[in-house]
Structure formats: structure tokens, C-alpha cells
Chain A
């Protein structure tokens, strides 16, 4: 069951900026005439060097809304798409649904696709709720008999059954949205695309929608979901992609992508990270670019243990600690330090944060996370350090990906749990657990 539902390859989309109009016909004729005579187009871009164009997504009066996007979605997977306004999320969905065509690249789809890019697409204000269910359903690709079959279900779900024969122009915006969502949710396409639709509607209905969407996905439907509500994304989607100025910045488990989305742009991290050896410590005290936002910033971090301080090689039977020093510049907020542990292949081992956090005053703090001996398996681990708070909405003050790392060494000799077995022991962790073997 590893078939793909969507495969996007090197997708580019260009838009023309400004108004279409004045002088266009004239210029178009000039371009056409030049082409007809085999000369260069007088209105072509001066440089066709792709690297040059890519540097900034605005290129003369052209805008690259999407630049070289490639990703795959497996059948039945729920993929979230996040990014700031103008990152290209909606453009991407428009291309996938076929509303407009890409400038370069291709999209392959497997299965009937249906989208809800806007609430009540094609709803006619003068028609009744019932008539609009039919109209909207047909626009989204349903056959009349399919709609008739599900009509009761749709009306029930929308909770507007009392007003179903009233023109929708008399509906409140909440009723309107509920009806529209119900139609889309009962489409039963193989691929469903949703954009920002849960923004309206009360909390109760939103919950109902999320439940419905999980249900949809469990029935084998693939779901693409664009939203600014991170909690919705994490509760619905397995994976997410992060878009930034038309580029695909990252793809991975939704929790991790969301951390990246919220985090301010990385500071001096890039220079420190080297793949080969371990980064056991760093210090941002003297760097010009602070790592963090106006409320808190990261100052230093280190990995330490009894055995070795320098190389970051930790014996499997000794404990290891991770510490981070951060400065709070905005007091009274319940800051939550959280450390993310990853294997080299990108598997998240665990994410940890202190169980009790109090609001912190301004000043410097040190957060230490202790990992007991005989807990992790051998291998290299990288740690991302983050500070967030969840008081209003999710807020991430900094998220430094893979800034520290260490390697757990298994010397084999003298390790008590091996009992003379010298082969590899698989697993991400190898915890020391209490065992009993008794005779019955």
C-alpha cells in the first residue's frame, strides 16, 4: 500500500505583476512580429540565467509564485501545507486542482480529486439551500443521483435542516459555511483539498469537521490541507510541507515543520553545523545576530557527561545531559524549553520539556535535560533546542534545528546486558529495564 496519490515534480508558476492592459496589445504584436521574422523578442527578459532569476522571486514585472516544488503524497496520507501569506499555498492548490496550469513542471494525480478552496463556491444567493447543495455538488464533480443519495446525510451534518428550503442569501455566514463544508465532506473523492475553510463556524462545528476529516482520511482518501491554525494541522495531518516565498523549505512530520514555521529566521547556526563530528557546545554571547525574538533569545548550549567533554562520544552506560542558557527579555510569560532528539536518518526519538513551568521574569536561565544511562541505543543523535509558549496561540521564540549532537558508543566489552553477544542490537533506544525471571 505504498502507492502515490500525488506526485509533484519541479513545479514552477509565474505570474505577471501589475495591470494587464495599457500597451499590451502593442507589445504583444511587437513580440509576435519579431518572432515571425526570426529575431529576438524585444520584450524578453535580458538575462535568461536561471540562477539569477531564482535569487529573488520578483523578476522585472514577473513573479515566481512557486519555484521548483517537488513532493509526493501517498494514498491515504494527510498532508498539511503551511506558510506565511504569499508563500504560494493557494497557488499550489490551484495548480493541483487544475484551475490554472503550471509554467514549468508537472503534477501527477491518481484518483478523483475534489476541492474546497473557498466556502460555498458557486452558491447562488437566490437559490435555496437544497438547490445549492445540488449545484455546489455538481460543480465539485458529483452526479445528481450521488447527491440525492447523500442529501439527508448532508443536510443532517450541516445542521441547517430547518432552513433548507430558504434562499441562502438569508443564511448567516456560519450556516453558509456549514452547508458548504457538508457538501464537500460528502463528496467521497479519492483526493480532497481543503483551504482555510474551518476558519469560520463555532468551536463545536469545527470539532465536528475535524472528526469528519479524520474519518475521511481513514477511509483511504488522501487529504491536502492548508491552514494557519497549527493545532488543526497537527491534529489532522501526519506530515506537512512548509512554503516560503514560493519555495518548499521543508517537508516532514507536522510537529517539526510547525516548529520551523514559528521559529524566527535562524541566526548563526549555519556556520556551526558540521555533519562529521559532534557539536557539543556553542555560544552565541558574542555574535551580532541574536538567535531568538524580542521576548527571549538563545545564548549557549552544551552536551556534557562524565566520560568525555570534547568529542561528544558518550559511553552507553553513562548518563548525558543537555543544557541551554537563554535570556528572557519579556517577563511574566510561561516559557517552555523543549529539546527535540533526532536520529541521523531524521527519525524523531522524542521531544522533551519540563513538566512544571512557571512564568519567568527577565534574566538568564539555564535549562538542563538529563538523560539516564543505558537509555539510548548506540549511534549519533542531534538535538534541536527550542523555546515556546502556548499561552495565547503557539509562539516559538527560537527553534535551532540540530544545533547540538552527540554519539552514543557501545564498547561491547564490559557491557553487562550483552552477556557475550557481540552483534548489533537494533532499535532507537536501548533502555535499562527491570526484569524478573522466576520459576513457576
Chain B
């Protein structure tokens, strides 16, 4: 007589939906799992947008006021005091276009580099795909960017209608969503690197503020790239934000110096940083709760 194998429920034969071991926890870039949590991402975005301006009188208007105030400050300091030329475009438009992009970059960078510290309480209690948090903050920053783009368009319209500003708008303007996406990806990748390293070495997060400040001066935000001697421009163009910024100003305001190969080189750098950051994030997400 043989034993009927179905009579015995062998633990090895039983179906398990999830196995947690020390070695293997989750796959790298488990997009399916993240997609399953898309509602959570949406709710995170909603939370960040809504909670930001609750109990303020002007509410979401702050999305418009902030960049305008900065722009006015820049116009005063850099245009009237330092007399930095703007390639013949109205300074307000020049600085505003720079600030709108720069805000997207710093916004995403700050949010994603702080992802472990700001979410430590939730991450320490519940498991959900950790990437949902930085993804949500990227989307939030993208939405804010869209608001700010509206101001840029309004100002642009005002200058065209009342100040006789006649720019040559290039077809590359259609690439605007690509520009924004690339900047966001770059900032996201850098942010993930900072976030991962700072789970173990907190000092890194102290460097971040200095790093962003420095990076702003290395990017043609407050000055046109044409101010840099031609022979040294390639150094500037190693920074992937520089060709994007120049291409954007070129297509929008009709003034900028950039070649397609510089732009392509920027894309390559961005992709490397993006995937490198994602991988570092993946390595640190499983145990950061113990060290943060």
C-alpha cells in the first residue's frame, strides 16, 4: 500500500504567495508591483498638493507668487545691479524661464533625496513599494511645474502683446514635455543617490544644500551660455541641464547656443544617473529602516 501523496501537506508543496529571506527580497524595478499601487501614488500626490497650502489665505496662488517673487529679485540683482546680459530677451522672461526649470530640478531633487527621512515613520510600520513615495513627489513637482509654466506663458503673452517682443519660436518647443521629463529624471536619479547614501552616512544630506547652490551657478539659469568663452563651453555642457536649458530658451525665446550632439550627450548622462540612482535606491530600500 502506498501513501496517497495528497494526504500529506508538505510545506515544500504548499503554495506560498510571498517568501521573505535575508538574501532575496524584491526584484529590481518591480514595475508590476508599483502599478498595483497606483492609487496610493495618486493619493500621495493629492496629499502633498492639498496639505501644502491648507490654512494659507492665498492657497494654491502661492504656486504662482513664489517664482514671480524670485524672478523679480533676480531681475533686480542680476540685471540692474550685476548687469548680466540676457541675449537680447526681456530679462523678466529670461529669468522666469530659468527659474521655472530650476524649481522643477531642485523640487524633485530635494523631495527624492529626503524620501527616507520624511517617510521614515510610515516606512517603518508598513510595507508598500518604497519607490511609490519618490514617484509621487516627482509627479507633484511636475504638476507644480505645469502651474509655473502657465505664468511663463502669461508673461510671454504680455510681453508679445504690450511690449512689442517678437521672438522666433522654434518647432523644438514641442519637445517641452521631453525637457521637463529629462530634468525630472536627472533630479530623481541624483536624489536617489543622495537618499541611499545618506541612510548610512548622514553627512551627505548636509552637503546637499551646498551642492544645489553650486549646481545652480554651473547651469545657465541666471546667465546665457554665450557668456562662457567658446573654447570652455564644452565643460559647461557636461552638465546635462545646460543643453536642455539652452535648447528651451532657444525654442521659446529664440536665443540660445546648443548643438544636437550636446543635447544627445546630456540624454546619455541623464539615463546613466537615472538608472544608477534607481539601483542604489533598490539596494538600500530593504534595510534602511534599521539604520535611519
The chain A residues found within 8 Å of chain B, CB to CB, are 2-4, 7, 15-16, 20-21, 24-25, 28, 72, 94-113, 115, 117-118, 121-122, 124, 126-127, 131, 134-135, 138-144, 167
Cβ contacts under 8 Å, A142 to chain B: 39
Contacts A24-B201, A101-B21 known; list 5 others, CB within 8 Å: A99-B127, A104-B22, A107-B20, A115-B127, A124-B51
Beyond A4-B14, A101-B22, A105-B21, whether A21 also contacts B202 by CB under 8 A is: yes
- Which residue of chain A is the closest to B44 with respect to CB atoms? A135
- Please give the distance in Å from A7's CB to the nearest CB on chain B: 6
Instruction: Give the contacting residue for B20; candidates A102, A111, A138; CB below 8 A.
Output: A102
Beyond A126-B54, A138-B43, whether A97 also contacts B126 by CB under 8 A is: yes
- Which residue of chain B is the closest to A93 with respect to CB atoms? B125
Cβ contacts under 8 Å, B22 to chain A: 101-106
| Complex contact B43–A135 (CB within 8 A) | yes
| Complex contact B47–A109 (CB within 8 A) | no
Cβ contacts under 8 Å, B50 to chain A: 126-127, 131
Is B146 on the interface with A (CB-CB < 8 A)? no
| Complex contact B39–A143 (CB within 8 A) | yes
- Which residue of chain B is the closest to A91 with respect to CB atoms? B290
| Complex contact B126–A115 (CB within 8 A) | yes
- Which residue of chain A is the closest to B48 with respect to CB atoms? A124
- Contact count band on B: 35 or more
Number of inter-chain CB pairs below 8 Å: 123
| Complex contact A139–B128 (CB within 8 A) | yes
Cβ contacts under 8 Å, A127 to chain B: 47, 50-51
Cβ contacts under 8 Å, B39 to chain A: 138, 142-144
Cβ contacts under 8 Å, A95 to chain B: 20
Is B161 on the interface with A (CB-CB < 8 A)? no
Cβ contacts under 8 Å, A100 to chain B: 286-287, 289-290
The chain B residues found within 8 Å of chain A, CB to CB, are 9, 11, 14-22, 25, 37, 39-40, 42-44, 46-47, 50-51, 54-55, 121-128, 200-202, 286-287, 289-291
Cβ contacts under 8 Å, A141 to chain B: 37, 128
Cβ contacts under 8 Å, A144 to chain B: 39, 42-43
For the complex, give the distance between the alpha carbons of A127 and B54 in Å. 9
Cβ contacts under 8 Å, B122 to chain A: 121-122, 139
Beyond A4-B11, A122-B122, A140-B126, whether A113 also contacts B43 by CB under 8 A is: no
- Which residue of chain B is the closest to A112 with respect to CB atoms? B17
Instruction: Give the contacting residue for B126; candidates A2, A121, A124, A134; CB below 8 A.
Output: A121
| Complex contact B125–A117 (CB within 8 A) | yes
For the complex, give the distance between the alpha carbons of A16 and B199 in Å. 14
Instruction: Give the contacting residue for A139; candidates B54, B126, B201, B289; CB below 8 A.
Output: B126
A100, A121, A124, A131 — which one has the most chain B CB atoms within 10 A of its CB? A100
- Which residue of chain A is the closest to B22 with respect to CB atoms? A102
Cβ contacts under 8 Å, B17 to chain A: 109-112
| Complex contact A106–B127 (CB within 8 A) | no
Report, nearest first, the 5 A-B pairs whose CB atoms are least far apart: A98-B127, A138-B40, A144-B39, A126-B51, A106-B21
- Please give the distance in Å from B233's CB to the nearest CB on chain A: 36
For the complex, give the distance between the alpha carbons of A95 and B47 in Å. 28
- Please give the distance in Å from A113's CB to the nearest CB on chain B: 7
